[in-house]
Amino acid sequence: MRRPARYSRSPRSSPPTEEVAEDTIAPEAGAPPGEAAPSTAPRGRAPGRAALALTLVVAMGAAAGAGYLWPRAAGHTLTQKDIDAAVLRTLQTNTLPSPAAKAADIIRPSVVRVVGYGEEKKTPEAKTEKRGRNMAKGKPPEADGPPGEVERGVGTGVVIVDKGVILTNLHVVAGADKIRVTFFDGLESPATITGVQPENDLAVLQAQKIPDDLVAATMRSTADLRPGDQVAAVGFPFGIGPSVSAGVVSGLKRSFRSPEGKQELGNLIQFDAAANPGNSGGPLINMDGEVLGVVTAILNPTQQRTFIGIGFAVPIENAASAAGSPPF
């Protein structure tokens, strides 16, 4: 698209005009050459004085107008010191969003709440999660839900294809009679499992209804990821969210064995951004809002299932392959 021409806002000067002195009087018709017509100026007043005054006015106006044409002094040239001072003043007088806040804004439209319904689990972990969900809702820890459908697991998912394809953890939806997902705009939809990768505790869901403006997350290779890189975890801890916690990559290629000892996961990203039950299946992102992995586990030597500073995520290379579309 062609850009319109830009024009200077400087005043435009008028073309010069010939000045005719009013005290020059043309000889009357029939007068001899070299003789001027008699002056009609009043007595006692020198002929041409009015014309002289008019000439002075014109000359002064021309001098004033010449100011627009006279070369102006060059403006102050900005130096690096001036630029640094302006940037410093901006930083001191304006509150800029944190990198984690900007990253969360980018990923938020792609994060969904995942709930599995069915017979309530009786495991210690399920009871801990239930107490946490009840307390988060302001209910007594051991309160039961309404009769009918029972939330047997609450987790998080991330949209990887804008047609409603969602990645989450397998343990969030395993054994559920029904699965429902809630999108960023509040739209709720039933979902079905279309693929699983048990060795990485991953499941792929397909939502039956999707928002018109659904945005898929951008995935980023972990090949250049290093300990110390900033990351953020986005999800629904104990059903509250979407919530954001920030930290750094603590280590790479870690292994984790489930508390029951039934499964061991390998090649995991270790991070220290706060994660709790309900964060499972949510995205671990960099400061550009790109998905590096899927949060899958937390390490706690007790049975409390609360965060003590060590979380694990499945690298996105493994997670995307669960959906049959390795991005790298």
Evaluate whether 130 touches 264 at the Cβ level (below 8 Å): no
SS3 154: strand
SS3 101: helix
The beta strand positions in 183-290, using DSSP E, are 188-197, 202-207, 230-235, 243-257, 264-271, 283-285
Determine whether 171 is an active site residue: yes
Rounded Cα distance between 105 and 42, Å, is 87
Evaluate whether 116 touches 151 at the Cβ level (below 8 Å): yes
Structure tokens at 71: 């070369």
Question: Which one is catalytic: 189, 243, 250, 280?
Answer: 280
| Beta-bridge partners for 46 | none
Question: Which one is catalytic: 189, 201, 243, 250?
Answer: 201
Q: Which residues contact 210 (CB under 8 A, 6 or more apart)?
A: 162, 163, 164, 183, 187, 189
Q: What H or E segment, with its residue span, contains residue 115? A: strand 111-117
Count of CB atoms within 10 A of residue 208's CB? 11
Rounded Cα distance between 60 and 136, Å, is 83
3-state secondary structure 270-307: EECCCCCCCCCCCEEECCCCCEEEEEEEECCCCCCCCC
Question: Which one is catalytic: 110, 171, 243, 245?
Answer: 171
The candidate with the shortest Cα–Cα distance to 270, out of 245, 287, 295, is: 295
Length of the chain: 328
Which residues are catalytically annotated? 171, 201, 280
